[in-house]
Chain A
Amino acid sequence: MALAAEQLETTTGRVQYRALAFRRIVLICGMVVALFLSVSIDMALGPANYTLSEVLTSLFSSGTVSDQLRVVIWDIRMPIALMAITVGASLSVAGAQMQTILANPLASPFTLGISAAAGFGAALGLVGGVALFPAAVQFMIPINAFLMAMAAALFIHFASTMRGVTVETIVLLGIALVFTFNALLSLLEYLASEQALAAVVFWTMGSLTKATWPKVWITGAVLIFAVPLFARQAWALTALRLGEDKAASLGINVRRLRLHTMMTVSLLAAIPVSFVGTIGFVGLVGPHIARMLVGEDQRFFLPASVLCGALLLSATSVVSKTIIPGAILPIGVITALVGVPFFFILIFTNRRRAW
């Protein structure tokens, strides 16, 4: 009897832990369902409104619907809807891992200057017609944006490899990059013609309307390449949140982990920004929402970050189409307007620490 009681006592934590893990899995599954619904609604909305059942029929039984519906859904709206989820997921995961390795809640592609660098790269093409990769002039804007974003990311990356450079220094360097590229962008805007200025302003607001299947494949491929890399390091990345000393004491090569993660994150942040422009909010807040929902065990935090980012941008895409009927507002602007109230609700109702 005494032995049975003791055994029961020692299993209490185990049972509670299993229940906690189960709750998180259910939450993640719920987010998958919500994302599917959001994407379906996103595809139903547009100049020609379709019902949800028409969209679902077109998705799962495309042979039975009209050619017009099939073309609108598959060739026009689906690339935009999928671009929203791949870009949202990529930026959110990039932000999540930047916050993890730099131990800073403010780290994101936006706050570390990667988005600002991309904006400057795009403006170089839009205002001055400067192609940083002259062999592909027809793709000048996204390539300029990508090259500048990668340059900024690599600068941060190599700065972090230098001896004596702390995570705080890296964040400060990122903020310095933001100011530098924003100043250069303002200079270009000052010198720009009226038409070029409008193009730059529109680009920096972020937009999904130019999404195409190749862009979706490229963004998706980078995401599919990056997530398993992070997943393999799930325990190590989680341990990094206990502090450098503690992580090292657990046998983790902190320097190497940080470098590898930063390299992957650079790619993950630069590609989407070069295709859709500056969307700042998702990379910063997506991970925070995920963290509040499932904590920082990367086995849950990683998929939750993917889903939060994807859901946030997909829901934003829906809202951007519905605020003014017939018009699609820039998604970079709407992201914050959709995300902030939700973020506030989570902060004020969540009793657990968010950071």
Chain B
Amino acid sequence: MVGLALKGVGAKYGKHTVLSDVDTDVLNGGVMTAVIGPNAAGKSTLFKRIAGLAPGPGTVVLSDTLKGPETICYMPQDTGANAVLTVYESVLLASKQGSSWKVRDSELLEIDRILQALRIDDLAFRGLGELSGGQRQLVSIAQALVRKPEILLMDEPTSALDLFRQIEVLGFMRSLAAKSGMSVLIALHDLNHALRYCSNTIVIARGAMVASGPTDDVITDSMLRDIYRVEARVEMCSHGKPVVIVDHSIL
């Protein structure tokens, strides 16, 4: 189980600073951490910086000092729709980077297992170009999982999924994290999903971290007003779980 802490992390594109001063306590493995914030706040940039795909100041500290950046896997929002590849091939190639041409049975069995777990095994030999956006997101999750990361950065993995699939995928990821000890950071726009599935939350706005901590403490009426510019309340539902109820936007 590998935890992750961010110390003064920022990101730059050329001379232009797009993200600065992200500091967190150790985000432990086995749970999900939501990264929330308005559009263009810097959530994807933060993920790219953590994964080493964007330059910038600060340090990404892994709790297990013997582990390197290869334990971190960044999952972008989409996977190519133009490639003339089947779903199965696209997942296979995600697992084979840097290795030989030979494909072992054990590698194929692992792909079968992941596709079945995500319930997309019926799509296995369909072309990527034939899939809907939501189906491609599920393929993207499969491509990430097949690499067996210890820290997984998921960039809006449910944005194109229907409600049933959103709940199914998030529930699956939460139980997978708990079972495997994987640390999952997940960018979300639906704050109710963050409240329901994520133990911790990081709030990013205008290229800086605004808050970080346990989700129940971070998602508050005042945060919703200040960051999202909406008049909203966090209340307990009939099942005793917190939900965000939005009244109106603040003009």
Contacts and interface: CB of A to CB of B under 8 A. Distances in A.
B121 interface: yes
Contacts of B38: none
A20 B97 contact: no
Nearest to A6: B116
Contact of A251 (B97, B101, B130): B97
B240 interface: no
Contacts of A239: 93-94, 97
B85 A238 contact: yes
Given A243-B80, A245-B76, A296-B84, A11 B127 contact: no
Contact of B84 (A16, A234, A251, A353): A353
B172 interface: no
A297 B97 contact: no
Interface in A309-355: 352-355
B96 interface: yes
B78 A353 contact: no
A17 interface: yes
Contacts of B79: 242-243, 246
B84 A291 contact: yes
A243 B116 contact: no
Nearest to A254: B53
A10 B127 contact: no
Nearest to B139: A242
Q: Give the interface SS of chain A, mostly helix, strand, loop or mixed.
A: helix
A18 B102 CA distance: 12
A14 interface: yes
Nearest to A103: B82
A13 B80 contact: no
Interface in B96-136: 96-99, 101, 103, 105, 108-109, 111-113, 115-116, 121, 124-125, 127-130
B80 A353 contact: no
Contacts of A295: 84-86, 89
A234 B101 contact: yes
A256 interface: no
B83 interface: yes
Contacts of A231: 101
Interface string A161-188: 0010000000000000000000000000
Nearest to B47: A249
Contact of B109 (A11, A16, A103): A11
B197 interface: no
A10 B97 contact: no
B2 interface: no
Nearest to A297: B89
Contacts of B83: 238, 241-242, 296
Contact of A249 (B51, B121, B127): B51
Contacts of A241: 80, 82-85
Contacts of B97: 235-236, 239, 250-252
Contacts of B89: 17, 238, 295, 297
Contacts of A14: 105, 108-109, 111-112
Interface in B175-231: none
Contacts of A248: 53
Interface string A236-280: 101101110110111110000000000000000000000000000
A12 B111 CA distance: 11
Interface in B66-89: 70, 73-76, 78-80, 82-86, 88-89
16 contacts: A10-B112, A11-B109, A13-B124, A16-B125, A17-B88, A21-B103, A235-B96, A238-B89, A239-B94, A243-B80, A245-B76, A249-B75, A295-B85, A295-B86, A353-B84, A354-B84
Given A10-B113, A14-B109, A243-B76, 20 more contacts: A14-B108, A231-B101, A235-B93, A235-B96, A235-B98, A238-B83, A239-B93, A239-B97, A241-B80, A242-B79, A242-B83, A242-B128, A246-B78, A249-B75, A251-B98, A292-B84, A295-B84, A297-B89, A352-B84, A353-B130
